[in-house]
Amino acid sequence: MKVIFPFAEHVPRLTPRKSCIPQSLLPCAGRPILAHLLEPLRKLPVSDFIFVVSHQDDEIQSYMDANYNGVPVSFAEQTENKGLGHTVSLASDYIPDEEPILIVVGDATLDMDWISFSQSEYSTIAVRRIVDERPYGLVELREGMVGCLIQKPRRTDLAIAGCYFIRESQLLFQCLHNLIRAERRRHGEYQLTDALQQMIELGVEMQIQEVELANQEDPYELNNVFGTDLGPLNNMIA
């Protein structure tokens, strides 16, 4: 199994203060956010951690070299933000054969069973239940399995939590490359959820695993937290 960290997708959304340091290296509870993300994942049988970063993110490679010597890592560079789907597609060169992958967007620290999540019989999307009307990506179930990935209209309270376990990795990359070749963008970007929806329409069965946010902190607000007051995020991870 390989883990993909699509960190480059977030770079254009950072505030000026954050532009000097990658979001994943911001300090929380005495350690960078990345350290908190890696802690549970290192307990899994991962053959490679693949970081997709922007050309500004040499700091991530330097941090990994200095603090995780011996951990298998690869780096792919995204020079232009074209959406999460494009970011994930850049990891395909490092996964030439069919093997399971974990995609960890890293918007929030999740309270979840990573072992069961990564050993699921089916490809699995982590979700959490929401009560507000902000524009989350949503999962609609059909007969207990993922039927549709939507944003509007709001017909479900299951929001995508930013973690995906994909067994059919080569089909995912094929669907992503098809979107890019056809220039099928939504909101000006290539969407990972559009490729996942294609997989479902091709007959891939996907399930969900419900997770919780650590201390109920909402990742939708993190862009306001980062670069202003890190107190709420420190409380979230502490």
Domain residue spans in the chain? 2-126+162-190+212-233
What is the per-residue pLDDT across 55-110, written as a single tens digit (0 to 9) for each? Answer: 767 889 999 999 999 999 999 999 888 999 999 999 999 999 999 999 999 766 78
Percent of the chain's residues with pLDDT above 70? 82
Instruction: Answer for the pair 14, 111: CB distance below 8 angstroms, yes or no.
Output: no
Peptide bond between residue 153 and the one before it cis (omega within 30 degrees of 0): yes
- According to DSSP, the β-strands at 123-129 and 206-210 are parallel
Distance CA 24, CA 35 (A): 9
Mean pLDDT of the chain, nearest integer: 85
Secondary-structure class of domain 2-126+162-190+212-233 per CATH:
alpha beta
What is the per-residue pLDDT across 109-131, written as a single tens digit (0 to 9) for each? Answer: 788 999 999 999 999 999 999 88
Inform me whether the pLDDT recorded for 223 exceeds 60: no
Q: Which of 20-29, 94-103, 137-146, 229-238 has the lowest mean pLDDT?
A: 229-238
What is the per-residue pLDDT across 133-165, written as a single tens digit (0 to 9) for each? Answer: 676 799 999 999 999 998 766 788 999 999 999
The angle formed by the CA atoms of residues 237, 42 and 164, to the nearest 5 degrees, is 75
Query: 150-179 burial, b if ≥16 CB within 10 A, otherwise e?
Result: beeeeebebbbbbbbbbbbbebbbbbbbeb
